[in-house]
Amino acid sequence: MLTERQSRILEFVISEYVESAAPVASQYIGQKYPVGASPATIRNEMAELEEQGYLNQPHTSSGRIPTDRGYRFFVESLMHEEELSWDAQQTIRHQFHQVEHGQEAWTQLAASVLAQAVENAALVTEPRMDACRIKHLQLVSLHDFTMLLVLVLDESRLKQQVLTLDEIFTQEELTETATRLNQRFAGSSAAEVVAADPTLSQVERLVMDAVIEIMSSVDAGSFDEAHLEGLRHVLSQPEFSGSDQVLGLLELLDEHNISQAIPLRSLARGGVTVIIGADNPQLPQANDALRACSVIVSTYGSPGDASGALAVVGPTRMRYSRTISTVRYLAGVMSELLAEHYE
């Protein structure tokens, strides 16, 4: 546990470092902030904070900078969340009313608004169901002992698989089989199909086993495509001035890799989740650029129904108070829009 004075000094150091990106000296803290202690005492307190892992001294003669642990303590114990002003809230809502109604337009706008508001990279995924569901299926006779399973899932995803039969079925018989299965299982997830465990004929069991396998594979390999905006804000930060770090960040945020590199919906654990530097094992720590980043993520929508996620990615030297409140507010706006869309 930190003393009250240590907590205040840590808060002052983080505030200064976020603004300047330069190590903060004890003498500067004593001159600018009402610590109520001598320069020697402040220096000793900062040394103690370093020993406990909240601050780090890049060079012997330099000031100190916050560590991941220091930022974590600040976010959880010291930070006062900065609420968006009424004018800022109305501006954001007005922008959404100016674009066409539709999930893709909303997510693209949300990414742009979020990136501009927090001056970091913003990621927003389009809403989807937590698990894929059967829209309908068709069975098409190909040969005496083979048929084609055509499985249409929600979000217009189409899957096909050739199945081998033990006996000959006419196209009329296959069509009747598909009709019965659609009546039983339309709208079901793979887990719900398994749990239902109805009495099925041999051919129906063959079809539904294939359906379960296909759907389970889709769910396991399903990554949210994310709209990315504001990459230039991150690349302009001094943390990424080195060419190797820039390349690492570009690789991380590449549109083809980002959904797998940062699994947004699995990271969000209700409300707003703050991941600082290397403190989350779900992130690919082999990427050095990510170790210098924080991810602030929230889901939007309704659990069990269509939902998506939005996040801010930027250096750990981030304005957490404003960023967290902006993510929280925008997630609320997106949830409202999605609820109206599905009414």
DSSP-assigned letter for residue 74 = I
Q: Where does a domain end: 220, 236, 256?
A: 220
| pLDDT, tens digit (0-9, with 9 covering 90-100), for 122-161 | 999 888 777 788 999 999 999 889 999 999 998 778 999 9
Q: What is the CATH number of the domain that holds 51?
A: 1.10.10.10
- Nearest Cα residue to 315 out of 37, 66, 39, 130: 66
Q: Work out the pLDDT band at 286, boundaries 50, 70, 90.
A: very low
Q: What is the CATH number of the domain that holds 99?
A: 3.30.450.40
What is the spatial distance between Cα 51 and Cα 36, in angstroms, rounded to a whole number?
22
Instruction: Measure Cα distances from 87 to 90, 94, 101, 209, 311 in Å.
Output: 5, 10, 23, 55, 22
User: Which residues face 293 on adjacent strands?
Assistant: 315
Q: Examine the domain organization and report whether 229 and 301 are in the same domain.
A: yes
DSSP assignment string, 213-227: HHHHHHHHT----EE
**In this model, does residue 17 exceed pLDDT 90?**
yes
Chain-centroid distance of CA 102 in Å reads 21
What is the domain extent for residue 279?
A: 86-128+224-341
Residue 114's pLDDT is 96
Q: Examine the domain organization and report whether 110 and 16 are in the same domain.
A: no
Residue 43's pLDDT is 93
What is the three-state SS of 275-310? Answer: EECCCCCCCCCCCHHHHCEEEEEEEEECCCCCEEEE
Q: Work out the pLDDT band at 121, boundaries 50, 70, 90.
A: very high
Q: What is the dihedral of CA 71, 77, 83, 84, to 10 degrees?
A: 10
How high does pLDDT run on average in the chain?
87
Q: Examine the domain organization and report whether 233 and 337 are in the same domain.
A: yes
Residue 280's pLDDT is 60
Any idea what the Cα angle at residue 179 is, between residues 175 and 184, rounded to 5°? 150
| pLDDT, tens digit (0-9, with 9 covering 90-100), for 187-219 | 999 989 999 867 899 999 999 999 999 998 877
Residue 64's pLDDT is 94
What is the spatial distance between Cα 136 and Cα 133, in angstroms, rounded to a whole number?
9
- The segment with the largest mean pLDDT, out of 37-46, 127-136, 226-235, 296-305, is 37-46
Q: Pairing between strand 293-301 and 65-66?
A: unpaired
In the chain, what are the helix, strand and coil shares in percent, each to the nearest 5?
Answer: 50, 20, 30
Global pTM value: 0.76
Q: Examine the domain organization and report whether 238 and 260 are in the same domain.
A: yes
Q: Examine the domain organization and report whether 296 and 246 are in the same domain.
A: yes
59 against 313, higher pLDDT: 313
Domains of the chain: total = 3
Q: Examine the domain organization and report whether 164 and 308 are in the same domain.
A: no
Q: Are 62 and 73 in contact (CB under 8 A)?
A: no
Q: Are 308 and 334 in contact (CB under 8 A)?
A: yes
Q: What is the CATH number of the domain that holds 156?
A: 3.30.390.60
Residue 289's pLDDT is 67
**In this model, does residue 304 exceed pLDDT 70?**
no
Work out the average pLDDT over 5-9. 96
Q: Work out the pLDDT band at 257, boundaries 50, 70, 90.
A: low
